Amino acid sequence: MDRLDNTVRPYAWGSTTAIPRLLGVEPTGEPQAEMWMGAHPGAPSRTARGPLNEVIDKSPEQELGARTVAKFGPRLPFLLKILAAGAPLSLQVHPDLAQAKEGYEDEERRGIPLDAPHRNYKDANHKPELICALTEFDGLCGFRAPDEAAELLAGLDVDSLKPYVDLLHAHPEDAALREVLTAVLSADPAEMAHTVTEAAAACARLGGAYAPYADLAHHYPGDPGVIAAMLLNYVQLQPGEALFLGAGVPHAYLSGLGVEIMANSDNVLRCGLTPKHVDVPELLRIVRFEAADPGVLRPEASPDGEEVYETPIDEFRLSRYVLPEGTAAHDLTRPTPQILLCTAGSVRVGEHLLAPGQSVFVAADETAEASGAGTLFRAAVVA
């Protein structure tokens, strides 16, 4: 069992206080956006035996187990993070596995460098993800019903938005959503910037349900993603609630602290709220134009006290234990690798006493017991 020393990524949208508060350390004044736990080569966790990716590379079957290696190859198939959004992240979507493989192979054939700003596919993997709120957490997830989006846009009383309102009342619904998103992202930049400025002023004046979009426009003035965001469901998670983001579902995290887990991939197609490259044709090929409830997840408790966030993929399984003082130790031994993360209180795992923000890597079939008084998140593989 390895205590993990994890890297904090200083992305500009990160909160300056949330991760330091969790860790019980003084803020540096700089944004601290994500703390990575895993074997991603960009920022692998460090252990007493070396970087976790190198530890796994030396003995993949011993660390990951034969079942994980047979299913996903000799690598840890998930990345666990603590995410702290102090400002909105980009509006984005992820490809499914077939789309990722096709896109990656196509860009490789065309010789597009991996670090090129217009490159869409950094690898051949999909990137389903789950975010579980540690504080109140605001986000956007999936399309609203077109009639609801039309009502929201119409309430702004901005003349240049009225054609979009009319389109959203058309049928079928998937075609209406596609036409409006295409029109928003393909509009003349100067004209769209003017529209966004008018819409932002109306949002600020109206407040209430419009307040989140006024904030988006404050961070991204003139960005067409502000209008695209109004097509999506606005979600406020309470602590312990979660969202699963599958392939093709447009989403953005706006504010809050959470535990995020994802398949090990860097594939992101952006829809807006960003100065980075937006590939509109490829984006429209990937997005699933389906209006649906965002599907807020609440954990399902098992008899042994494990609370599981059910998702339809095998690269990861996120659960938690809320351990009251004086309870018996929980056996967490599994035939697949896992990372255990304390987010509240004090939890002992084997010889390691974990405070909030501290974590350990447990190899496949390695004995692991948890006790104490606190909250322990468990990230594991479902192989």
Q: What angle do CA 242, 246, 247 make, to 5 degrees?
A: 160
- Catalytic site includes residue 46: no
Residues 374, 324: Cα–Cα separation, whole Å = 7
Q: In what helix (H) or strand (E) does residue 341 lie, and over which residues does it extend?
A: strand 338-349
Give the gyration radius of the chain's Cα atoms: 22
- CA angle (332, 338, 339) in 5-degree steps: 105
CB contact at 8 A, 123 and 100 = yes
State the Cα–Cα distance between residues 70 and 364, nearest whole angstrom. Answer: 13
Structure-token pair, residue 371: 């006790």
- CA proximity to 268, closest of 69, 87, 129: 129
- Which neighbouring-strand residues pair with 353? 348
Rounded distance, CA 61 to CA 181, Å? Answer: 46
What tokens does 23 get?
């860790």
CB environment 277-312: b (16+ within 10 A), e (fewer): ebeeebbbebbbbebeebeebebeeeeebbbebebe
Catalytic residue (choose from 270, 320, 334, 348): 270
Q: What number of other Cβ atoms are within 10 A of residue 73's Cβ?
A: 10
3-state secondary structure at position 32: strand
Residue 129 carries which side chain, given as an amino acid letter? Answer: E
Q: Which two tokens stand for residue 219?
A: 């961070």
List the alpha helices (DSSP H) in the chain: 18-23, 52-58, 60-64, 66-72, 97-109, 146-154, 162-168, 173-186, 189-206, 211-219, 225-229, 280-286
d(C-alpha 80, C-alpha 341), whole Å? 9
- 68-76: long-range pairs with CB below 8 Å, 24+: 68/336, 68/337, 68/364, 68/381, 68/383, 70/383, 71/314, 71/383, 72/315, 72/381, 72/383, 75/39, 75/264, 76/38, 76/39, 76/52, 76/264, 76/337, 76/381
Active site residues: 270
